[in-house]
Structure 1
Amino acid sequence: MTTALALDHIGLCARDPAPLWAAWERLGFALSPRAQQSGRRTPDGPVEPFGSVNRCAFLRHGYVELLGIADPTLFANGVDGFVERYEGTHILALAMDDAEGNLARLRRGGVPIPGVAWLQRPVEPGGPIARFARLPFPDAPEGRVQLVQHLTPELVWDARWMGHRNGADALESTVVVSANPAETTARLARLAGLPAEPDSLAGFRLRLPGAARAAGPESPKMETRIRIIPPEALPRALPGVAAPSLPFIAGCVIRTTDNAATARALLKDLPLRDLPDGIMVPPEHAGGCAVVFA
């Protein structure tokens, strides 16, 4: 298919990744091992080591990437620029299964993408190399919004780091706050190749139809969503969350296996907020991202 299939992952960025990783472990996530990224700066350039490192919370459907800078003397793959704006979520990746087909679609639509951007990293120190094909929307003010195709999904969705104590099972949706929701929505819909619709709260909603194995080797077909709302709607969507700048990827909803019962008990010492569809961990306890367990 030459459209986006599902919400693949979001990515949080911090200068120092250690506190970010510790915060997500405190939330009950089992994180993958520390991995230094590498890739090509241009489609035909050599593979080189990057200064960025990550650990991830892999779910049955989708995942959350937690990035930081390990070596400031190396190319940081944009993480340095992101954290200058704020520490929090800057990456929004939609799953695809045909990089070349989606590249052709975007070029026909006038999007100036130079080619497929290749990224790779070891899944663990000394371990096999995971590889990815990416199509980032050029110069998107929302952050790194991109299509991604996992070329080695069986390497990253590893059972050793998928046993989450909080019952997390699927990345279900994310909330983007924009001063111009129509403009942001048009950009994301263009990237996805899918139509948008009005959001029930305010702004717009992009529904990703899903496909079996679209966001993980064992992921079911399920609809995932991106909500694009104006700043005045943020207090109703995610109470108590303030935007450090606009546009802002404010939060995410993570579906659990037990309607957040385990997460509620595990996180009872945090200042949780009750929402209609679950409980919210405020962004100051989750690396700058409001995390809703549903």
Structure 2
Amino acid sequence: MTTLIPQIDHVVITVSDQLDEANAQYQKLGFTTTPRGHHSLGTSNNLAIFTTTYLELLGFEPKNADKVDKSWRFADGLTGLVFKTKNANELYQHLVNNGIKVEGEGPRSFFRPVELNDGTKPEARFRTVRLDPAYTPNGQIFFCDQLTPELVWRKEWQAHPNGVININQVIIEAQNPHASIKLLENTFPSAKIIDIDGGVRLKADDKYIDYLTPSATERLFGASLSKANNDQDRKVALGLTTKSLAQTQQALEKGNIRFNLQNDKLIVPASETYGVVLIFSQL
């Protein structure tokens, strides 16, 4: 396999049994969300689709609570960082050969029907390779092989009232950023990693994955942060690129969403988003 290049596919925001409420809240935040999808694994979701990435609100409907694999259950918040792959089998073997612990004996396959505007419900199919959950106690890092991308990145779902067009940053709080980023450094040996104020950064195309100390995240976000449940690494903030901050602000005000303007960015506290600070910046 050629050298792995880090490319963000999507992020996962866990909302447990609050999918209806979370979906309504994200619409108030100015996102256009997809119709509810139901995975073959028991979970359900609503998505906000961007240019090359998407945001997934992942939870379960009460009737399916006992069907959901407990290893996929986490406290609410930004729990999943997902990278792209086009060959799950080859990727799995590559990671194993390079000493990266992965879950299971091979890629995991699943599907969900997708409700389209024409009334049809074709099946979106995926194969995933998840890094050993022991690496990330407060969430997960995995790869997704989108077998039917045409059922995900659809134009009718990519126009958002808040103007968002893509993800640009994921911020992970870590007691020791240099130690924690080793997982990604070992997974992507050719990736560019640099020191930044308060931590360390990995560049994934035109996007950033930052590991910052708790003091650094406190300095940046203060009371906007969610409360930590433990001292393990946790994903605390998500950066989003918008066509227009004025458009974003208008959408947030319309939804009665609290926000702060900070260094030419709009910051929405975790209390408004099911546990993740949202950072809107203009293209």
TM over 0.5: yes
Give the secondary structure class of the aligned counterpart of 1:130.
strand
Q: Which residue of 1 aligns with 2:276?
A: 289
Matches of 1:59 and 1:23, distance apart in 2? 18
Partner residue of 1:179 out of 172, 175, 179: 175
Kindly indicate whether residue 48 of structure 2 is the aligned counterpart of residue 57 of structure 1.
Answer: yes
Partner residue of 1:30 out of 29, 32, 47: 32
1:33-52 matched pairs, under 5 angstroms? 33-38=35-40, 50-52=41-43
1:90-169 matched pairs, under 5 angstroms? 90-113=79-102, 114-124=105-115, 127-139=121-133, 140-141=135-136, 142-169=138-165
Kindly indicate whether residue 249 of structure 2 is the aligned counterpart of residue 255 of structure 1.
Answer: no
Post-superposition offset of 1:192:
3.4
Q: Which residue of 2 aligns with 1:238?
A: 221
Matches of 2:115 and 2:108, distance apart in 1? 22
> What residue ranges of structure 1 are gaps of 5+ in the alignment?
39-49, 210-222
Matches of 1:34 and 1:286, distance apart in 2? 18
Give the letter for the 1:94 counterpart. F
Q: Contact 2:170–2:239 (CA<8 Å) still a contact in 1? A: yes
Give the letter for the 2:237 counterpart. G
The number of residue pairs the alignment matches comes to 265
1:1-12 matched pairs, under 5 angstroms? 1-12=2-13
Q: Which moved more, 1:281-290 or 1:141-150?
A: 141-150
Matches of 1:121 and 1:4, distance apart in 2? 27
Q: Which residue of 2 aligns with 1:265?
A: 250
Give me the identity figure in percent: 24
Partner residue of 2:261 out of 248, 256, 274: 274
Post-superposition offset of 1:111:
2.1
Kindly indicate whether residue 85 of structure 2 is the aligned counterpart of residue 72 of structure 1.
Answer: no
Q: Which residue of 2 aligns with 1:47?
A: none
> What residue ranges of structure 2 are gaps of 5+ in the alignment?
none
Matches of 1:36 and 1:89, distance apart in 2? 20
Matches of 1:168 and 1:59, distance apart in 2? 7
Q: Contact 1:7–1:225 (CA<8 Å) still a contact in 2? A: no
Q: Which has the higher helix share?
A: 2
Task: Please tell me the root mean square deviation across aligned C-alpha atoms, in Å.
Answer: 1.9
Q: TM-score, normalised by structure 1?
A: 0.84
